[in-house]
Chain A
Amino acid sequence: MGDSRLVLVIVSVVIGIVLFNVLIGTPKVGIITLDTPILSEKTKYDIIDMLRYAREDPSIKAVVINMNSPGGEATKVEEIYLEVLKLRAKKPVVVSVDSKALSGGYYIASAANFIYVKPSSEIGNIGVISIMPEPWKPDNEQITTGPFKVSGTSRKKYAAQADAIKQGFIMAVMFQRGDKLQVDSERLSCAEIFLGTEGVRYGIADAVGTGSDATLKAAKVAGIAHYDTLDVNEAMNITFGGRFHGIADLNETIVPTNYYIYQELEE
């Protein structure tokens, strides 16, 4: 009798363990590394694919984004920002800023539940950069059907459009940071780069901490006490190699493009 009961217990325990792993499984914290400017379609879709993977994988209960980006093309950044919001609606997202989350990098980070920075991380640079359209002069070799077919708009209007895009950026940051923010929109409009410690003081970031602090925080917000981590970049075989050197790297198009990107002054 005793042996049979022991066997029953062992079998039941095994069934219990297997059932748990099949139905729920060991929870994971997904780690996504964004160590890139966001200038190409491929980079944008790689990032969005990783965010979707994290959102749809039932074993991933929380996400940490390791951020090291100077930003990128405005529309690409905005799409990634919206995808982070979608992810956040389902699972907690914590950003751990490495050396920089500037401009578009910060735009994306602002969508997270929590932002960790190192003391000397660089964050902020909230604004838009672009190149003015060249005034177009008509010639006999090229025919267009409207005055702004080539330039897109007048230089004066173009500046105003860039300002409108900036307003959207600031609005997005103020909405996501809410009462945590200790600076007003005028200060954000300056497009300053803040050190990590300044960022925490001004409510642009939440705390000084490491990547593992971010993982612990993400797990805590998700309500998970023990977990594995999953390198999403590795799982999806995605690596980034792009570097942004300056305005000359930006896409050359006839109609200018707007960027949320940090450009260092050339010597």
Chain B
Amino acid sequence: MRKVKFVVLVITIVFLAQLLFFYRGVYLPPPTNMPDFLSITTNSSTPIEINDSFISGNGTVLVDLSHENNFNVGDLNILLSRIIARGYHIEYLHSGSNLTDHLSDSTSFVVISPTSSFLEADVNLVREFIDGGGRLLLLSEPINKNKINSLAVEFGTLFWNDYLYNLKENDGNFRYIYLTEFVENNITNGLRKIVFYTSSSVFGNGIIFTDNNTYSSSSGEKGRYSVVVMNEDSRVLAIGDVTFLAEPYNVMDNNRLICNIADFLAPPDATPEPAEIYSTTVNSTNKTLTNDTIFNASMQE
């Protein structure tokens, strides 16, 4: 019996000695914190219906396609439909066409993302057009490399070589920025919140700005950047994004902005009477030209 106890004792001592040699503690696993993945939602707004009230007019809006413009003409459909609804005619300036002739017949000129530069002679023609009462819309976005500044600088405007982003609040991607700061203006009339989808900042007389949490990719700094400017006594409108014009990116008050741009490009006819005010619903389903006349108003009153 004593021998058995002795053996057990020695075995135990050897066992414990090895245990202490190899082990000095136990592992206490930390709590496994699992994020609440189910609380994550996709955040992406959808187009909303608005009421487009306007006074009809008569004229031509010229769209530049002669500078290897990098955009999809189909993306302008909403804007063009609003212009046509206002009684205006759309013309396209193709390569080889005579700019002088076309501008002389036009009320407004739209230039989007040109990839070939405007030569000095063409810039002078556009300058004469503006000085003569014409209107110019310049659109560009950072995704498309282009030469828009070859024309823009003539009118005190510069499209910056950046893109703007906001990591705090956005429409489903850091490049899809909300814009809520507006200078009171016909272009900003009725706007509360719009969204631009990869916009550059634009130098000039700003009328729409980002909030202070928005970064510029070129400076890496956050600040209040202008994305829409209006120069030359409200005759030149420059916008740092193009995507907002197209479905399904015409969300929030983007449709309202598109209608305001249509008013800018297709102002009411100067002839006094009779003038009719139309109202139509702008949404993704209404693609007809039928407008509901809500009342007749004489311009002489």
> Given the complex of chains A and B, what is the CA–CA distance between A19 and B21 in angstroms?
15
- Chain A residues contacting B168 (CB-CB under 8 Å) are 186
Interface string of B26-67 (1 = CB under 8 A from A): 110110111111001111100000000000000000000000
Q: Tell which of B25, B32, B44 touches A160, judged by Cβ atoms closer than 8 Å.
A: B44
A113 in contact with B30 given A8-B6, A15-B11, A159-B172 (CB within 8 Å) = yes
Rounded to whole Å, the gap between the CB of A23 and the closest CB of chain B is: 8
Identify B22's interface contact among A62, A90, A221, A227, CB under 8 A: A227
Q: How many Å from the CB of A130 to the closest CB on chain B?
A: 11
Measured CB to CB, the closest approach of chain B to A41, in angstroms, equals 22
Report the Cα distance A99→B41, complex, angstroms.
34
CB distance from A151 to the nearest CB of B (A): 13
Bound form: Cα–Cα A91–B3 in Å:
41
**Which A residues touch B9, using CB under 8 A?**
12
- Provide the residues of chain A in CB contact with B167, threshold 8 Å: 186, 189-190
The answer, yes or no, to whether B10 is at the interface (CB within 8 Å) is yes
Provide the bound-state CA to CA distance between A161 and B14, in Å.
Answer: 61
List A contacts of B34 (CB < 8 A).
Answer: 85, 175
Query: Does the CB pair A16–B40 fall under 8 Å?
Result: no
Contact call B21/A226, Cβ cutoff below 8 A: yes
Contact A171/B43 with A20-B18, A27-B23, A160-B172 known, Cβ cut-off 8 Å: no
Which of B22, B26, B173 counts the most A-chain CB atoms under 10 A from its CB?
B22
Q: Does B1 contact A (CB under 8 A)?
A: no
A35–B119 alpha-carbon span in the complex (Å): 55
The answer to whether A225 touches B23 (Cβ under 8 A) is yes
* CB nearest to B39 among chain A residues: A171
Interface centre among B7, B9, B26, B27 (most CB of A within 10 A): B27
Q: Is the CB of A160 within 8 A of B173?
A: yes
Q: Is the CB of A226 within 8 A of B43?
A: no
Closest to B172 in A: A160
Complex CA gap A160/B22 in Å reads 52
**Residue B129 lies at the interface, judged by CB distance under 8 Å to chain A:** no
**A residues in contact with B37, CB < 8 Å:** 168, 171
Chain B residue with Cβ nearest A155 = B248
Contact: B22 with A224, CB < 8 Å? yes
Contact A171 B7 (CB under 8 A): no
- Closest-by-CB residue of B relative to A10 is B10
- Given contacts A159-B176, A189-B174, whether A223 and B10 have CB atoms under 8 Å apart is no
Does A9 make an interface contact (CB < 8 A)? yes
Q: Which residue of chain A lies nearest to B249 when distances are taken between CB atoms in the complex? A: A156
Bound-state CA distance A20–B42 (Å) is 56
A24 within 8 A of B: yes
Cβ of B12 within 8 Å of any chain A Cβ, yes or no, is yes
Chain B residue, CB-CB nearest to A191: B174
Chain A nearest Cβ from B190, distance in angstroms: 24
| Interfacial chain A residues near B42, Cβ < 8 Å | 157, 160-161, 163-164
How far apart are A25's CB and chain B's nearest CB, in angstroms? Answer: 9
A131 interfacial by beta-carbon distance below 8 Å = no
Complex contact B172–A163 (CB within 8 A): yes
0/1 interface trace, chain A 54-98, chain B, CB 8 Å (1 if under) = 000000011000000000000000000000010011111000000
Q: Are A17 and B22 in contact (CB-based, < 8 A)?
A: no
| CB atoms of A156 and B44 under 8 A apart | yes
Q: Are B174 and A16 in contact (CB under 8 A)?
A: no
Q: Which of B7, B29, B170 contacts A11 (CB 8 A)?
A: B7
- What sequence of 0s and 1s flags, for each residue 136-177 of chain A, a beta carbon within 8 Å of any chain B beta carbon? 000000000000000000101101111110011001101110
Is the pair B33, A175 in contact by a Cβ cutoff of 8 Å?
A: yes
Q: How far does the Cβ of B214 sit from chain A's closest Cβ, in whole Å?
A: 12
Query: With an 8 A cutoff between CB atoms, is B125 at the interface?
Result: no
A contact residues around B36 at 8 Å (CB): 171
Q: Hey, which chain A residues are within 8 Å of B6, CB to CB?
A: 5, 8, 12
A100 to B3, CA, bound (A): 61
**A12 CA to B9 CA in the complex, in Å?**
9
* Contact assessment for A13 and B172 in the assembled complex, using a CB-CB cutoff below 8 Å: no
Excluding A89-B32, A90-B29, A224-B22, 10 further A-B contacts by CB distance (< 8 Å) are A20-B18, A24-B18, A62-B27, A89-B29, A160-B173, A174-B35, A175-B34, A222-B25, A222-B27, A223-B23
Q: Which residues of A contact B (CB under 8 A)?
A: 5, 8-9, 11-13, 15-17, 19-20, 24, 26-27, 61-62, 85, 88-92, 113, 154, 156-157, 159-164, 167-168, 171-172, 174-176, 178, 186, 189-190, 221-227
